[in-house]
Amino acid sequence: MSGRFDGKGFVVTGGTRGIGRAIVLGAAAEGARVVFCGRGESAPVGAEVEAAARAAGGQARFVPADVAVEADVERLFDNALGWLDEVHVVVNNAGVTRDSLLVQTTLEDWRYVLDVNLRGPFVVCRRAVDEMLAQGSGGRIVNVASFTANGLAGAASYAASKSALLSLTRSVAKEYGRRRILCNAVVPGFVETDMTTGYRAAARAALAQLSPYGRFGLAEEVAGTVLFLASDEASFVTGDAVYVAGAVRDVPRMTS
């Protein structure tokens, strides 16, 4: 354990699998105490992540919460502050998608994706900033966006939510940088997660070849960048979007 985050308190949304799980375990392994959330049905997985953190010598605690529900976000932070001395780092990682062409996208689907991917991070950022201002010691907020923020055929709601998340990131950075609250975004490309495991084999192979690496990224590679932005090493980085996309900056047309 390197101790880079000794004494630091983390709150991570969407921490039960994929990129979020890698962030939780990575932070805990480096000395942080981590409170992470997932929806209520994720409780068994949350317990497994807690056990994995303990096995690595770290500390993590699962709180069932849906970031689309404001009361759940408040309860998440209340639980976190009951266990942590302070909240130093907040990571907005929770995200969903409901892929469909624009004319087939229902208003219900649009609202669902925007509620989780944008409204949720807004509520989380608002509470995080409030706590960090009260603590008086600044803090770090890292939002996990997506390179689909440039637009994606077949997933307009997801792309729009991630583009808006980048704007939210820059706005928070500009509003609170003088109070030593740094806010950045990590922009993953194609990563081996639950969202990409359902791709057809031929599509996966073609998409992997868009990168000179010839593969999808790993959750741990994205988590490493998140943890850098959460660390003292990134003390002059704010309002930025750091790509972890294997040199891929745009998504080809995908409608099936």
pLDDT digits (tens, 9 = 90+) for 53-82: 999 899 999 999 999 999 999 999 999 999
Domain range summary for the chain, segments of one domain joined by +: 9-241
pLDDT digits (tens, 9 = 90+) for 147-205: 999 998 889 999 999 999 999 999 999 999 999 999 999 999 989 887 777 677 777 78
C-alpha pair distances (Å), 156 with each of 91, 109, 124, 153, 254 = 24, 11, 23, 6, 11
Give the burial class of 249: count Cβ atoms within 10 A of its Cβ; 0-12 exposed, 13-18 middle, 19 or more buried: exposed
pLDDT class of 113 with cuts at 50, 70, 90: very high
Residue keyed to tokens 């509470």: 127
Task: Given the residues 158, 199, 213, 243, select the one marked as catalytic.
Answer: 158
Query: Do strands 9-12 and 181-188 pair parallel, antiparallel, or not at all (unpaired)?
Result: unpaired
Q: Residue 107 has what pLDDT?
A: 97
Half-sphere exposure of residue 156, counting CA atoms within 13 Å on the CB side?
11
Q: Residue 253 has what pLDDT?
A: 64
Q: Do residues 120 and 67 touch, judged by C-beta distance below 8 A?
A: yes
Percent of the chain with pLDDT over 90: 80
Of the options 3.40.50.12780, 3.30.1330.10, 3.40.50.720, 3.40.605.10, the CATH number for the domain spanning 9-241: 3.40.50.720
Active site residue 243: no
Note the pTM of the prediction, 2 decimals: 0.94
Q: Residue 251 has what pLDDT?
A: 74
Select the more confidently predicted residue: 198 or 112.
112
pLDDT class of 2 with cuts at 50, 70, 90: low
DSSP H helices in the chain: 18-29, 43-55, 70-83, 107-114, 120-135, 156-176, 201-208, 219-230
Percent of the chain with pLDDT over 70: 97
Q: Residue 208 has what pLDDT?
A: 83
Q: Residue 80 has what pLDDT?
A: 98
pLDDT digits (tens, 9 = 90+) for 203-226: 778 888 888 898 999 999 999 999
Q: Across all residues in the chain, what is the average pLDDT?
A: 94
Q: Residue 205 has what pLDDT?
A: 81
